[in-house]
């Protein structure tokens, strides 16, 4: 078996599992309870938050724990949009290449009376800062642009976009779910107001997320019923999951530089091995050549339909995908590749491979031979 779908979810690191198991086998305790068990849970929650704040260079009280990246995106976008509407700001700017957790949320808000501008991206998946400037109106209150694309790996120029937003008094939300493992975040200096993260993309547990809310950023809660997370997100916190997330982030920060180099090598090895075994003109690498995440390789195998390819890969023990894990079970083609205006021949033959913990060069050599054999067989039979 070859797991090449780390952009969908990553295997849990053994040290993360050990931390979580220790919490789950402990005496328990609700962090909101006043007794000793509750206080112990509260202390663990606070230690986790403090460590993550140090890793992300922000204040602990600027971090809100959620159930994952989707909830973090929803809380950031809907919560900020509702708060900003009171100031007469009902215009939202986003891009056509966002994750569906952002696009579907913006679509929902448009039905609630908000004005939404969806910016195009170029053939590499990048947003133009000039398009952002041209889209801004006196009613623009919120902009939401992801950092690293989950399907093609393209990185957006969030420093420049954030400076534009700040110059116009616009609240800026960044979906950083896919980029946390590769990019060092200094949230104190970065011109952003809201940033979404998720544990299961960095070898942590699924079902735990984080939202950075810069102090002073207007936002209304979506979940009501308790005073948890400073009344910004009601509900008993997932203490074991949060402790696991904190450990995963600590490991991520400690090893990020060397791990990024390793992933860059794995990606290059993968593309080189496939190119050597197949006609290089029949393989198209999608996304930006330089401004990209190191662990994602989106490739179009021209002449080989995506569904047929995925089925054959699965039968051969190779896990890959056609795009976002949230939509990979459907038959629709990638909205990101459509937004990039790729030819149908590229759009309908694209496969996303993504690398991480457990992958080796030797493993990729073996998997590349299997992929090449599958492609040649399909082409010969077509």
When divided into structural domains, the chain yields a total of 2
Q: Could you tell me if 65 and 211 lie in one domain?
A: yes
Mean pLDDT on 166-187: 97
Q: Is the pLDDT of residue 363 over 60?
A: yes
Q: Could you tell me if 247 and 292 lie in one domain?
A: no
How does residue 327 score in pLDDT terms, banded at 50, 70 and 90? Answer: low
Q: Is the pLDDT of residue 128 over 60?
A: yes
Predicted confidence (pLDDT) per residue in 88-125, tens digit: 999 999 999 999 999 999 999 999 999 999 999 999 99
Q: Could you tell me if 115 and 42 lie in one domain?
A: yes
The structure's pTM equals 0.96
b/e code 298-335 from CB counts within 10 Å (16+ = b): bbbbbebebeebbebbeeeebbbbbbbeebbeeeebbb
Instruction: Give residues with Cβ within 8 angstroms of 283, minimum separation 6.
Output: 271, 274, 275, 299, 300, 301, 302
Closest CA to 82 of 212, 232, 191, 190: 232
Q: Could you tell me if 261 and 177 lie in one domain?
A: no
Q: Could you tell me if 74 and 191 lie in one domain?
A: yes
Mean pLDDT on 321-335: 68
Predicted confidence (pLDDT) per residue in 195-245, tens digit: 999 999 999 999 999 999 999 999 999 999 999 999 999 999 999 999 999
Q: Could you tell me if 57 and 140 lie in one domain?
A: yes
Q: Could you tell me if 315 and 203 lie in one domain?
A: no
Choosing from 58, 106, 252, 326, the catalytic residue is: 326
Domain's final residue, options 198, 224, 251: 251
Q: Is the pLDDT of residue 331 over 60?
A: no
Residue 326 known to be catalytic = yes
Q: Could you tell me if 33 and 113 lie in one domain?
A: yes
CB 7 within 8 A of CB 296: yes
Q: Could you tell me if 363 and 241 lie in one domain?
A: no
Domain hosting residue 199, numbered range:
14-251
Which position has the higher pLDDT, 291 or 322? 291
Q: How far apart are CA 254 and CA 15, in angstroms?
A: 13
Residue with tokens 């690191």: 13
Percentage with pLDDT > 90 across the chain: 95
Q: Could you tell me if 121 and 180 lie in one domain?
A: yes
Q: Is the pLDDT of residue 326 over 80?
A: no
Domain's final residue, options 222, 251, 280: 251
């Amino acid at each position: 078996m070859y797991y090449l779908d780390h952009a969908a979810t990553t295997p849990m690191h053994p040290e993360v599992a050990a931390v979580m198991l220790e919490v789950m086998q402990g005496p328990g305790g609700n962090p909101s309870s006043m007794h000793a068990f509750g206080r112990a849970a509260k202390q663990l929650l606070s230690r986790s938050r403090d460590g993550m704040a140090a890793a992300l260079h922000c204040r602990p009280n600027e971090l809100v724990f959620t159930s994952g990246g989707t909830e973090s995106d929803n809380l950031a976008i809907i919560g900020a949009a509702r708060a900003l509407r009171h100031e007469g700001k009902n215009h939202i700017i986003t891009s056509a290449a966002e994750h569906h957790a952002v696009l579907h949320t913006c679509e929902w808000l448009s039905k609630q009376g908000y004005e939404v501008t969806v910016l195009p991206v170029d053939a590499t998946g990048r947003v133009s800062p000039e398009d952002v400037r041209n889209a801004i109106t006196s009613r623009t209150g919120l902009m939401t642009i992801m950092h690293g694309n989950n399907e093609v790996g393209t990185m957006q120029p969030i420093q420049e976009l954030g400076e534009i937003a700040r110059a116009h008094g616009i609240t800026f939300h960044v979906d950083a779910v896919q980029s946390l493992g590769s990019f060092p975040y200094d949230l104190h200096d970065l011109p952003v107001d809201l940033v979404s993260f998720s544990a299961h993309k960095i070898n942590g547990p699924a079902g735990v997320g984080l939202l950075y809310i810069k102090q002073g950023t207007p936002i209304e809660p979506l979940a009501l019923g308790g005073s948890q997370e400073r009344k910004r997100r009601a509900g008993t916190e997932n203490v074991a999951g949060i402790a696991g997330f904190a450990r995963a982030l600590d490991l991520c920060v400690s090893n990020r530089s060397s791990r990024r180099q390793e992933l860059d090598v794995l990606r290059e090895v993968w593309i080189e091995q496939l190119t050597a075994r197949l006609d290089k003109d029949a393989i198209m690498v999608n996304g930006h050549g330089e401004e990209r995440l190191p662990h994602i390789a989106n490739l179009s195998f021209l002449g080989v339909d995506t569904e047929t390819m995925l089925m054959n890969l699965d039968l051969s023990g190779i896990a890959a995908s056609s795009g976002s894990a949230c939509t990979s079970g459907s038959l629709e083609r990638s909205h990101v590749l459509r937004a990039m205006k790729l030819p149908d021949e590229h759009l309908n033959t694209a496969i996303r491979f993504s690398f991480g913990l457990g992958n080796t060069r030797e493993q990729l050599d073996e998997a590349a031979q299997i992929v090449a054999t599958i492609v040649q067989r399909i082409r010969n039979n077509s």
